[in-house]
Structure 1
Amino acid sequence: MAGVVTALVAVFAVSFIALIVGVHVTELHTNWCLLLVIAVFLAILSVYSFIGCHQGNNRHVCVLVLGDIGRSPRMQYHAVSLSKHGYNVSFVGFLGTKPHEDVSANEKITIIPISEVKGLGVGPKILKYVTKVVLQSLQLLYTLLNMKDHSHVLMQNPPGLPSIAVTWLVCSLRGTKLIIDWHNYGYTIMALTHGQKHPIVRVAKWYEKFFGRFSSHNLCVTTAMREDLLKNWKITATTLYDKPPLLFQETPLECQHKLFMKMAKVYPQFQANSEPGGEDVELTAFTQRRGSTGAVSPAGKRPALLLSSTSWTEDEDFSILLKALEDYEDFVNGGDSLPDLVCVITGKGPQKEYYTKMIDSKSFKHIKICTPWLEAEDYPRLLGSADLGVCLHTSSSGLDLPMKVVDMFGCCLPVCAIHFQCLHELVKHGKNGLIFQDSKELAFQLKSLLSDFPSGEGKLGLFRRNLRSSGQQRWEENWDQTVLPLLTANNR
């Protein structure tokens, strides 16, 4: 009987999503689509007689992201926090990048992989997209219906198409609470490629607005997004700011040296410019140690370590940083007393090859650039070893905040960040970093902050001291105060 029910629900769900897309793409009246929603929902309710109304397991939560688990840090933090409070976690998502060890080695967290589905290989783009949505819906529906009951499903949006509708469907059937964690709006990300008026973008916007209201509760990443959800979509949400977990801290010099020695084997930018002054000397571009048991010290006349991380997507224009580095090079060639730079840009994404070619075309004398992908354990260590962070995240909606800056602040790393609507909720200009508008302003900020390097007495040192003394809240405390009450209240 369960197989029959699964098949019925699958047919309803696939027809539901396909027809929604079809209705909007052909621009029929929205009321027909709403009638379809009601009809499908009533049909789904009719199968309750076959399966009954399940009460979810109060100590079992599903964490869902229709993306790469290893590149979804906030959802990984959710999973770890749930496990620390005794919840068993089913973590559903794509297995691309290796998750952090706190997730992969956690006995209370079970990773349930799903694959990223592609649509038809031929035909119009809209047909490819519709078939992709339908196939992804079938896979997700099958996965969720074949899992144990949960008290809650905590899902990330974006991406929300088709995961919001499918997850709501399963939660409705099982009596499970659905919590949506709004990181951004999916339709604004799609609009970067297709434009605001594209039919698919309009479908995605309607879809997020309509189905977002069916959740039991909503989390979001900024106060600005919370206000926007309420004002424009009548969705009430709780702000859960991204906060750095305890693994993001300043890296001790000994650990810095080990990391630099490791990276120097792969990336020549971390290798020393001069030969070691003896057989028993370990030397990197930044650190040195005499003897295997000797103390580590900074290398003489070392370069400044500039760090940025990215998903290499349209909402980050790295030509701004490259142009600022060209201006910085001109400052040095013009006689300004400034350190050489090693610029590390970490991450994976669709535009990496494009920018790598642009980087390779540069002929800097005082600047070296590398674009590594770091292991999950090495990324916080490198952040904690850097001298200055740069953020080029502009936000497709203007309502989310860059997690990379949160991580940098956890490591007491000052930041230069490009301006957008709600950045002030995180970066306090002149206190923990600087905000710039364009490449010229960024170049002069680099010049100003690094003019007395490596002395810690200037503005860069002031920002770092401010971060150390700020008593910033960590993820664990923030989650316990904000998310845990939602789970326990719904279980009473």
Structure 2
Amino acid sequence: MASPVSGAALVTVLALIASLAALFSGVSAPLVCVTLVTALLPLLLTLWLRCLRRRDCGTERRVCVLVLGDVGRSPRMQYHALSLSKHGFNVTFVGFVDSKPHQDVLREERIRIVPITEVKSVGVGPKLLTYVTKVTVQCLQLLSVLLRMELQSYVLLQNPPGLPSIAVAWFVCVLRGSRFIIDWHNYGYTIMALSHGWRHPVVRLAKWYEHFFGPLAAHHLCVTTAMKDDLQRNWGIKATTVYDRPASIFRETPVKLQHELFMRLAHIYPQFQHRGCDGDAEAEKTIFSVRDLTDDSVTLRAERPALLLSSTSWTEDEDFSILLSALEDYEGLVSGGASLPSLVCVITGKGPQKEHYRKLIDALHFQHVKICTPWLEPEDYPLLLGAADLGVCLHKSSSGLDLPMKVVDMFGCCLPVCAVHFHCLHELVKHEENGLIFADSQELAEQLKSLLSEFPASTGRLGLFRKNLRTSRGRCWDDNWDQNVLPLITAASR
């Protein structure tokens, strides 16, 4: 039988109602509590009856993977879903479907994607009221989706974003007897503080919310040892560190596949087009590669530009003005006669600040540096990483406790990286071993100059970093997951 709502759970819900009431300045707290209890009572009774249903056969092999974000832009949760399916679990993957997930997820028969709709803020009224309205509507939508699906043995939730998904997922797990697991990627309130400031009421609410509901999960995963220590020290949470590892699709791209990718991109982005005037009808050319049509051989052009790649979600925790300023310095060096290659800088991703930075990019007039901002298909992104010469990471963790997944993927492709410094980055990027760490745009410009001074030769520091990455490739995601997550789930099911 699914466990009914315990007395402790009801007390927790009532405590939540009372705490939220205190946030409404100028409104009687008892009145708010009475209103909320009256509104929630029919729902609670319905849920109580629903949770008394007998658990049907096979429930122990069902897992709900939940992310209150875009499924296609949540690689770690996609990897969780694939790993679960490989071990015989039926996965219900719940999230926004704004971008196409990877083909492996779409093809897997044991994975069923259940889309939810992102709730937009109401454009009128006080900001606090519109935010509360948005959270309330999203909460009701999640309740509806989670309670209509088959009984699940586990609910695995990504945090952040965790408002309101942590509370809703925990509540549903209590009602239905499922085990609740949180995978901590970061803290949501620290991300909100980037745009609102630490003293904003919504940020303080989000911090209280995560501290209150986070420890209620049965099991916890996290992405770094630093976060594991912080969760234990400040939250009383014992978490298992599961480092991100590259999936098997991230590897160096053979030259022929590079050319095919460059040709596809050249049809859309002029930065990849060859603009020579040699009129050779027996060759198919991009700015990087040449395919001889007589024998179908492909070579990289000796005079090609260097391919610089960065990926981003265009949010406040990535300051791309640092990269643009460094590229301005690099342009000045090449224009001044420095022996450096031209650059094609590809910045991939979607996000709220993309248009802001596109306007800044459009205002630049470089001769030796070309910038494009494509959105790549899931199958093309690892191919481009595997074809690039150098990666740049501008992710600066809001909490200082998470690591950029983009760098993990780059390292899977043996792509050296220049990454902006923050606390705990050393758990991933080893300075002067697999990449370089910089503090500002001037230091990044100097690193670009140093690493590309011998391009395209494989000697020098850039070649050394790539060689180190090839020889130090650790366990893949599957091995890492099998060792750290599978025992946790199988032990909990006994």
Both proteins in one fold, TM over 0.5: yes
The match for 2:383 is: 381
1: CA distance, partners of 2:276 / 2:217: 60
- What amino acid is aligned across from residue 311 of structure 2 in structure 1? S
Give 1:349's match in structure 2, choosing from 333, 343, 351.
351
Q: Is the 8 A contact 1:415 1:433 kept in 2?
A: yes
Partner residue of 1:52? 52
Question: Residue by residue, what CA displacement relative to the aligned partner does 1:55-95 show, whole Å, maximum 9, x if unpaired?
Answer: 58111100000011111111111111111111100000011
| Pairing partner for 1:143 from 145, 151, 165 | 145
* 8 Å contact from structure 2 (residues 189, 203) kept in 1: yes
Contact 2:17 2:36 survives alignment (8 Å): no
How far 1:51 moved relative to its partner? 3.8
Q: What is the root-mean-square deviation of aligned Cα atoms in Å?
A: 2.9
Aligned equivalent of 1:338:
340
For residue 366 of structure 2, what is the amino acid of its counterpart?
A: F
Q: Deviations over 1:305-343 (max 9, x none)?
A: 000000000110111001101111111122210000000
SS at match of 1:213: helix
User: Using the alignment, how far apart are the partners of 1:68 and 1:86 within structure 2?
Assistant: 25
Alignment partner of 1:427 out of 421, 426, 429? 429
Within 2, Cα distance between the matches of 1:55 and 1:89?
A: 17
* Aligned pairs for 1:265-304 within 5 A: 265-291=267-293, 293-304=295-306
Q: Structure 1's 86 and 98: CA in aligned 2 closer, same or farther, altered over 3 A?
A: same
Whole-Å separation in 1 of the counterparts to 2:128 and 2:104:
40
Match of 1:170 in 2: 172
Of 243, 258, 261, which aligns to 2:260?
Answer: 258
Partners of 1:17 and 1:134 within 8 A in 2: no
Residue 211 of structure 1 corresponds to which residue in structure 2?
213
- Residues 120 and 128, structure 1, Cα contact 8 Å, conserved in 2: yes
Using the size of structure 1 for normalisation, the TM-score is 0.92
> Counterpart of 2:133?
131
Equivalent residues of 2:421, 2:437 under 8 A apart = yes
The answer to whether the 8 A contact 2:412-2:473 is kept is no
Q: Supply the distance in 1 between the matched residues of 2:166 and 2:134 (Cα, whole angstroms).
A: 15
Distance of 1:136 and 1:13 partners within structure 2: 20
Cα deviations by residue, 1:28-68 (Å, 9 ceiling, x for unpaired): 999xx99x999999x95997577427558111100000011
1:24 aligns with 2:23: yes
1:65-84 to 2 correspondences below 5 Å:
65-84=67-86
Residues in 2 aligned to 1:418 and 1:246: alpha-carbon distance in whole angstroms: 26
Q: Distance in 1 between matches of 2:376 and 2:11?
A: 43
Q: Is the CA contact (8 Å cut-off) linking 1:310 and 1:345 kept in structure 2?
A: yes
Q: Displacement, 1:275? A: 3.3
Structure 1 residues 228, 414: CA separation in 2 closer, same or farther (over 3 Å shift)? same
Q: Where does residue 320 of structure 1 map in the other structure? A: 322
Q: Secondary structure at the match of 1:78?
A: helix
SS of structure 2 residue aligned to 1:58: helix
Q: Retained in 2: the 8 A contact 1:14–1:137?
A: no
Uncovered stretches (5+) of structure 2, i.e. residues with no partner:
none
Is the counterpart of residue 397 in structure 1 residue 399 in structure 2? yes
Compared with structure 1, are the counterparts of its residues 453 and 478 closer, same or farther at alpha carbon in structure 2 (3 Å cutoff)? same
Q: Structure 2 residue aligned with 1:179, among 178, 181, 186?
A: 181
Provide the identity percentage: 63
Is residue 2:197 matched to residue 1:198? no
Secondary structure of 1:248 counterpart:
coil
Asked if structure 2 preserves the Cα contact closer than 8 Å seen for 1:303 and 1:339, the reply is yes
Please tell me the residue identity of whatever aligns with 2:317.
D
Aligned length: 481
Q: CA deviation at 1:434?
A: 0.1
User: Any idea what the Cα deviations from partners look like across 1:224-283, whole Å, max 9, x if unmatched?
Assistant: 011111111111111011100000000000000000011000000001131354212101
Contact map agreement 1:54 1:174 (CA 8 A) in 2: no
Indicate the residue corresponding to 2:99 in structure 1. 97
**Distance in 1, Cα, partners of 2:54 & 2:413:** 45
Select which of 433, 440, 451 maps to 2:442: 440
- Give the deviation of 1:472 after TM superposition: 1.7
1:181 Cα shift? 0.4
Q: Is the 1:68–1:95 contact (alpha carbons within 8 Å) kept by the matching residues of 2? A: yes
Q: Which residue of 1 aligns with 2:122?
A: 120
Give the SS at the match of 2:455: coil
- 1:238 corresponding residue in structure 2: 240
1:300 CA displacement: 3.0
SS at 1:23 equivalent: helix
Provide the C-alpha distance between the structure 2 equivalents of 1:14 and 1:127, rounded to a whole number of angstroms: 21
Distance 1:27 1:323, change over 3 A: farther
- TM-score, normalization by structure 2: 0.92
* Deviation for aligned residue 1:479: 0.6
Deviations 1:413-435 (A, max 9, x none): 00000000110000000000000
Contact 1:244–1:475 (CA under 8 A) maintained in structure 2? yes
User: Aligned equivalents of 1:14 and 1:143: distance in 2?
Assistant: 20
CA distance in 1, matches of 2:277, 2:219: 60
By how many angstroms is 1:16 displaced? 8.0
- Equivalent residue, structure 2, for 1:108: 110
SS in 1 for 2:130: helix
Instruction: State the Cα distance separating 1:13 from its structure 2 match.
Output: 11
Higher mean C-alpha deviation, range 47-56 or range 411-420: 47-56
**One-letter code aligned to 2:22:** V
Measure, in 1, the Cα distance between the counterparts of 2:201 and 2:22: 10
Shift of 1:485: 0.6
- Asked if structure 2 preserves the Cα contact closer than 8 Å seen for 1:281 and 1:290, the reply is yes
The superposition leaves residues 397-442 of structure 1 with CA deviations (integer Å, 9 ceiling, x where unpaired) of 1110000000000000000000001100000000000000000000
Stretch moving more, 18-27 or 318-327: 18-27
1:155 matched residue in structure 2: 157
What is the one-letter code of the residue matched to 2:52?
A: G
Q: Matched residues in 2 for 1:220 and 1:27: separation?
A: 40
